[in-house]
Structure 1
């Protein structure tokens, strides 16, 4: 059997898993549950304190009762539900198959190396969703076309700002402002039968749904600190969106 050399190796692996789940958008309870499953397979017990930016983890060997504590900073979040699902499935498979340390480590490396959708596919797909929302809100095909391009340009600005490593709330403000400016042209030139629907839906791609949902699930699971942090982050994101929309409407004198 391929066994780890020390508790330090196990703690590094569990911290890597916890960090990967957090940056992918998992709630706190899922993070705690997943690493507890992996720890049980390795005959260890884990105690951890997880926040938005830091994880403190203590692991104890069930045989020797020796403990090891390590702290890890969490990198910027990047939502990826596929990673959360794969790690959750891997944790159950590890228990049923009694995986070794090496098998768990190789599986996590494999999950990390999975290809993601390119930014161009994301741009097109999200833009079509923006156009679809416009149709749901009563927009015609011309309104949907304006919503498509507004969302496309707004998301492109957001991706570019992220690449430049600007503050996250500034990124949202810039994307909201640019998307709203383009949508406002539809109102100014009276494009389509319901140009107001274009303006209302052009910034929906910025709604922090994951942060707000996780905030409530964390609060329900009594992870109060993380719940409040995520709720505050969601509110700040919504305020940044609203500021960009308000400034665009102010420039075009739209009421």
Structure 2
């Protein structure tokens, strides 16, 4: 039988683990309801009652006993939100294994360490696949083979610019603006030099890799689930990202006098 001190230590360890798990989910692009459901699933499987309060950049966990005595209460600020579906799906699978296989805290911590250590795709793979995706969008829009090559080059250059600026800890919206500017500048260069047609399709599709699909989808999901505050914040974030993209393209158009 566990003593009161041992029980408190276990609850504190669980609380910190839930904070870490929730923060990682938020930073990896999970919506609010998914984070709450995953954390409650783990906590309930381990026999604890937990209350979770989730805001856009912070996470609060409160664990109580059966007599409503507060055993753990802490808040953690989350890092900048990105997209990592491998992490999100890995934590989701782990939470179900906790339920179905009766994992303890030590096993959860070990799995969390493994998930956090998962390697990212090599940079050249990310650049190449993103470039091909951009070229694919250009083809769907009716672009010519020359347009596909232009969009591929512009996308790779724009993404490289964003990655380098992100490494230097610049404002995320400034990084997106710079990426849109670099991509659209390269996409508009052939037309400005008088090489072939106007390449309008290439110019328009060169920045599609920056479209904030995940923030906007999560915004809609949060609003539908009743998490209005987070939904509105995510939606505004998506609008600011879109504005940064438009501003980058506008800068290129002004330089090329395309207006």
Bigger shift: 192-201 or 82-91?
192-201
Deviation, structure 1 residue 62: 4.1
Deviations 1:130-175 (A, max 9, x none): 1111111111111100101100100000000100110111111111
Structure 1: which 5+ runs fail to align?
A: none
Q: Is the 8 A contact 2:62 2:70 kept in 1?
A: no
Aligned with 2:100: secondary structure? helix
Structural mapping, 1:244-255, within 5 Å: 244-255=248-259
Deviation, structure 1 residue 217: 0.2
Q: Is the 8 A contact 1:7 1:61 kept in 2?
A: no
> Is 2:96 aligned against 1:92?
yes
Q: Is the 8 A contact 1:135 1:144 kept in 2?
A: yes
Aligned with 1:250: secondary structure? helix
Task: Give 1:77's aligned residue.
Answer: 81
Deviation, structure 1 residue 187: 2.1
1:122 corresponds, among 123, 126, 140, to 126
Aligned with 2:76: secondary structure? strand
CA distance in 1, matches of 2:138, 2:194: 15
Deviation, structure 1 residue 67: 2.5
1:209 corresponds, among 209, 213, 227, to 213
Q: Paired residues, what number? A: 255
> Is 2:139 aligned against 1:135?
yes
Q: Is the 8 A contact 1:13 1:105 kept in 2?
A: yes
Task: Give 1:14's aligned residue.
Answer: 18
CA distance in 2, matches of 1:210, 1:157: 21
Deviation, structure 1 residue 189: 3.5
CA distance in 1, matches of 2:67, 2:86: 35
Change in Cα spacing, 1:61 to 1:98, as seen in structure 2 (3 Å) is farther
Task: Give 1:31's aligned residue.
Answer: 35
Deviation, structure 1 residue 68: 1.2
> Is 2:247 aligned against 1:243?
yes
Structural mapping, 1:114-193, within 5 Å: 114-191=118-195
Change in Cα spacing, 1:207 to 1:22, as seen in structure 2 (3 Å) is same
Task: Give 1:67's aligned residue.
Answer: 71
- TM-score w.r.t. the length of structure 1 is 0.95
